[in-house]
Amino acid sequence: MNQVLTAAPLSHYVLLSSILFSIGVLGVLFRRNAIIIFMCIELMLNAVNLLLAAFSVHHSDPSGQVFVFFIMAVAAAEVAVGLAILIMIYRNTGSINIETLSNIRH
């Protein structure tokens, strides 16, 4: 085993991230409250961050952790825009249930 990963073998990190990512995907498909769906997407991104950090340590290569910074930056920007859209919708409809938002079909 590589001596830089002291706590657990790499495969356990991959498994942990995969489980977190799958829970995030499950939440996106399972729930109908827009804010919770959105939080599950954040969970997916965090699974990615953990995986990148583990690989970065495994490879002894800092670029993986730098990529995590970019993901965090983008996640913050995305949250700002997404919540603004949500508030706008709430103002117009008084609800953030995604089922009420299926009117486009002609």
Partner 1 sequence: MNALISLSVLGIVAMLSEIFNFKKFLYSLILLGLVAAIGVNVMEWGQFQLWYGMMIVDEFTLAFSGVILLTGFLWFLLVADNHQDKAHISDHFAISLFAMAGAIVMVSYNNLSMLFLGIEIVSISMYIMASTQKNDLGSNEAGFKYFLMGAFATGFILFGTALLYGATATFDIQKIGVFVTEHNSELPAIFYAGLILIMVGMAFKISAVPFHWWAPDVYTGSPTLITAFMATIVKTAAFAAFLRLFITCFSGVELFWNQTIMIMAGATILLGNITALLQNDFKRILAFSSVAHAGYMLLAVLAMNNQSGGSLLFYLLAYSISSLSAFAVLLAVANLKGNTNVQSFKGLAKKNPFLAFVVIVAMLSLAGIPPTAGFFAKYYIFTAAIANNYVGLTLVAITGSIVSIFYYFRIVIVMFEGDESTEVTVGSNTKALLVICSVLVILLGLMPDFLIGLLK
Partner 2 sequence: MTQYFFYFLSFLAIFFAALVVLSKNPVHSVLYLILCFFSIAGHYILLNAQFLAAVHIIVYAGAIMVLFLFVLMLMNLNRDSEPPKSWQGKVAATLAAGLLLLVFTASIKGADALPSGNQPDNTVGLLTNLGKTLYNDFMLPFEVSSILFLVAMVGAVMIGKREEVSE
Residue 27 and residue 34 in contact, taking contact as beta carbons nearer than 8 Å: no
12 binds partner 2 (CB under 8 A): yes
Q: Which one among 14, 16, 36, 39 touches partner 1, defined by CB under 8 A?
A: 14
If one counts every other C-beta atom within 10 angstroms of the C-beta of residue 57, the result is 19
Q: Please tell me whether residue 104 binds partner 2 under the rule CB under 8 A.
A: no
Hey, which residues between 26 and 85 contact partner 2 (CB under 8 A)?
26-27, 29-33, 35-36, 38-40, 42-43, 46, 49-50, 53-54, 56-63, 65-66, 68-70, 72-81, 83-85
